Amino acid sequence: MRLGAIDIGSNAARLLISDAVTDNGKTAFNKVNLVRVPLRLGFDVFEKKEISQEKTEMIVNTLKAYKYLLDAYQVKHFKAAATSAMRDAVNAKDIIDHVKNETGITIEVISGGDEAAFIYENHIAENMDKSMAYLYIDVGGGSTELTFFAENKLIFKESFNIGTIRLLKNQVTDQQWDVMKEFIKKETKNHTNDIVAIGSGGNINKVFSLSKRKDGKPLPLELLKDYYKELGSFSLEDRIRIYKMREDRADVIVPALQIYINVMRWANAEEIFVPKIGLADGLIQHLYEEIKTKKQA
């Protein structure tokens, strides 16, 4: 079964097309194509509270292209979800209606809690050491989603309006950091010595790539701190040149590392696994479960 997911984030919009293949009762999701367009909606919304006409046209053009790709790959089932920037935009409904008229695609604006839940749909922790506790950390442009898995069950899922673009725009207060800190410390205090982080998002994937670690090997917290200092010591232009980064990655990677480091410190997590998962993967798996349930019914 071929499925599609569109993730419209605060920094970029992604289209993921995957094949769901079931063998011996287990379903694997094999990536067919992944396309990313840096719409950067958060730069409008977190300052002006609305999405500009120029960005609206970019959204429509991007989703038109994605619809053509979905049709070309003969994808019959897909989901489109928007996150923090669209949650905060006062003109979100007008844009969603416009996109529907132009492309036929229905965008669902999901809550921070739903975003965390969709990322958890990947169930990465369930295949790891059951004696450990796992903290999913998904850092986006507008928010950070945390999901905690321990004792073989979901303990909490929470969203915080602390994201890379908000940090770049100086729109995260000390009080917001304190709320996140106290929440993490309180909710993880019974697992202070056995928490491992699982990171998702383009920035942690880029750091993993820079580290040249083998797939499946975790990144130590100390290494993240080293990259934070190293990357933060360069100008944006030098980061682009030296590390061969796109501008829309080079400007957000340092604030992203700040978030990962803080969350891991407060949770006493010394390592982070980077399994290359994200919201789009979770949407695909959620869609698959929906279709399977309907067929069984």
Q: pLDDT tens across 172-226, in order?
A: 999 999 999 999 999 998 887 789 999 988 999 999 999 999 888 999 999 999 9
- 3-state DSSP call for residue 90? coil
CB–CB of 135/198 below 8 Å?
yes
**pLDDT surpasses 90 at 107:** yes
- Domains in the chain and their CATH numbers? 2-112 (3.30.420.40), 125-277 (3.30.420.150)
pLDDT of the residue at 127: 60
The residue among 37, 81, 79, 78 whose CA lies nearest residue 55 is 37
Q: Rounded to an integer, what distance in angstroms lies between the CA atom of residue 27 and that of residue 215?
A: 21
Question: In this predicted model, what pLDDT tens digit does every residue of 131-164 receive, in sequence order?
Answer: 789 999 999 999 999 999 888 788 899 999 999 9
Alpha helices in 73-201 (DSSP H): 84-88, 92-103, 112-120, 164-168, 174-188
Q: Rounded to an integer, what distance in angstroms lies between the CA atom of residue 95 and that of residue 117?
A: 25
Q: How many CA atoms lie within 13 A of 204 on its CB side?
A: 29
User: Is the entire prediction scored with pTM above 0.95?
Assistant: no
pLDDT of the residue at 244: 93
What type of residue sits at position 127? N
Residues 29-44: b if buried by 16+ CB within 10 A, e if exposed: beeeeeebbbbbbbbb
Task: For residues 29-49, give the mean pLDDT.
Answer: 94
DSSP state of 50: S
User: Could you give the angle at the alpha carbon of 177 between the alpha carbons of 49 and 157, nearest 5°?
Assistant: 85
**pLDDT surpasses 90 at 110:** yes
The residue among 73, 49, 72 whose CA lies nearest residue 1 is 73
**pLDDT surpasses 90 at 122:** no
pLDDT of the residue at 273: 94
CB–CB of 272/224 below 8 Å?
yes
pLDDT of the residue at 26: 85
Q: Please, what is the average pLDDT of the chain?
A: 92
Q: Rounded to an integer, what distance in angstroms lies between the CA atom of residue 8 and that of residue 27?
A: 26
